[in-house]
Each structure stands twice: as structure tokens, then as C-alpha cells.
Amino acid sequence: MSEANRYRRKKTISRILNNSVLYIVLITISIVMLVPFIWMIATSLKGSGVMTEVPPRLIPKVFYWSNFREILIENHFIRYMRNSVYIALMAAFGRLFTSSLAGFTFARMSFPGKGILFSIILATMMIPMQVLIIPEFLIMMKTGWIDSPLQLALIIPFWLSGAFGVFLMRQFFMTIPKDLEDSARIDGCSMFGIFGRIFLPLAGPALATLFIFSVMTSWNDLLRPILYINSQRLMTLTIGLASFSRQYDVNENLKMAGAVVTLLPLGVIYAFAQKYFVQGITMSGIKG
């Protein structure tokens, strides 16, 4: 065997070993991360008498699908889910509009103080929401939006507090060639026309990424619903699950069924939009 062949064989074996170690590490981490979710789903299908078994059993002998019927119908989780879906979608679409418009402005327009203003917007990301919640609550109280049927107190703040969305859209819009903008200007297209006809159609991956982040943030929000919702008919899934978990006579299997109902929509959304999510993160220049 020649020296070149020995070198190539050694390099191939080294690459196979490195990939094998990498795959083993990734599979191990994946299993560790999936175990809590698998246990949650398995527990949600157990009966109340099986919870105290020693040793505990992962896969139940009998699947109690009635746990989900009790959660969804008897404990009004269908109503909570409807409220959460409405709030999450309204908040996400509103943030898409405001963030994309602001991102286009910072990426393609020139005006005095643009850099300073953009830095101030980014600096707001370091301010915890708990610091701003008191003045926000006073504003909502003055406007009469607390416990409003339209849930404006849970929607409007998401439209106006999207520093991450502005940054994401700005980064994406800066990757679009300037020739497209110049050609549109020559054809007599206005700035709003350039934004709506050229930039927005090309920003599908970034918009999908921002949509997923916005839905997840609104869906998992607990602080604002606790402050702004007083009526049970307006409660979201996070409040419903928290109130349900505080009941001392509730079995763990029903709590886990409620958790599955709460997490399932997010998993479905991410499964269908994963390709656009990864593409949007990559093309916007934000790399982990």
C-alpha cells in the first residue's frame, strides 16, 4: 500500500470515528431532553391508581384517553385554548407588521439619528418585562382594556415591544441586493411600494421565524394574563393550567394531560414551520 493510500485510509477512519463520537453525544443529549416529555405524555394516559406504583411504570397497561376528555370539556380547556389561539395569532400578526416596517426603515432608509435610535431599541432588550409591567398596567387601566372582551391588554403590548423582531427583520432586509430597490425606484415605485411588493415577498423565512417566536412568547405568557384577566371566560391556557395545578384534589395524570394540551399546538406549529425557521435564522445572519 502506497503512502498516499495509507494517508487517505487513516483520514477516513479518523473522520468516521469523529462522526461516530459526535452522533453518540447528540443522541445522548436528545434522549436526555426527550425523557421528560415522554414521561409527561405517558403520565397523562395513566389512571389515578397507577400513579403510586413502585417501581413506576413508563408505559401504562391501560391508556386512559378519558383524561383528555375531562381536561378539555369538564375543565373548560377548550375555551382556554380558543382564547390563547386568538391572542397569540393577533399578537403575532401585529408584531410581524410593526417589526417588518421598522426593520425596513432601519435597513433601507437614511435619517438623522438612525444609529442612535436603533441602539436604543436594542438596549430595551436588556430591560426585564417586570420592570415595565407597573407603568404598563397603569396605562391599561386608564384605557379600560383590563378584562376587555377583545383582550387588547394582551395584544397591543406585543405590537409595540418587538426589539428582537426589528433586529431580525433589519438583518434580513440588509441581505437583499440594492439593485432590486434601485430598479423599483427607476420604475417609479414609492418606498411603501418597495416594501410591500419587493421586500415582504422575499422575507418569508424571516417572517416565519418571527411568527414562531411571537406565538411562543404570547402563548407561554403568564404574567400579563394574571394581571389583565379577571373573568374565567377570558382565561388563557397558562392561567387555566396554573389554576388547575393549584387544586389539591387534582391527580397528577390530569395535570400532565393539561400540560400536553398546552404544549401540543406549539409543537405542531414548529414541526410545520421548522424549515422556514432554520432558513430565517441563517439568512438573517443570526447564528448560534
- Let me know if residue 60 belongs to a domain: no
Same domain assignment for residues 106 and 248: yes
In this prediction, residue 206 carries a pLDDT of 87
**Same domain flag for 114 and 21:** no
pLDDT, position 128: 86
CB 104 within 8 A of CB 173: yes
State pLDDT tens for residues 166-183: 998 998 898 888 888 888
pLDDT band for position 287 (50/70/90)? very low
pLDDT digits (tens, 9 = 90+) for 268-279: 887 777 776 666
Residues near 231 by beta carbon (within 8 Å), at least 6 away in sequence: 147
Looking at the structure, tell me whether residues 212 and 146 fall in a common domain: yes
pTM (2 decimals)? 0.84
Same domain, 13 and 123: no
Is 288 within a domain? no
Domain count within the chain: 2
DSSP characters over 160-214: H--HHHHHHHHHHHTTS-HHHHHHHHHTT--HHHHIIIIIHHHTHHHHHHHHHHH
109 and 15 inside one domain: no
257 and 204 in a common domain: yes
Distance CA 227, CA 223 (A): 6
Cα(243)–Cα(253) distance, rounded to whole angstroms? Answer: 16
Comparing 51-55, 71-75, 192-196, which segment has the lowest mean pLDDT? 51-55
- Calculate the alpha carbon distances from 186 to 101, 108, 134, 179, 202 in Å: 22, 16, 49, 10, 20
Residues 79, 8, single domain; the answer is: no
In-domain check, residue 95 = yes
| 11 lies in some domain | yes
Nearest to residue 99, comparing CAs of 190, 155, 156, 161? 161
Domain range for 167? 68-283
CATH number at residue 156: 1.10.3720.10
Is 112 found in the same domain as 18?
Answer: no
Residues 30, 79 within the same domain: no
Question: Does residue 91 sit in the same domain as residue 221?
Answer: yes
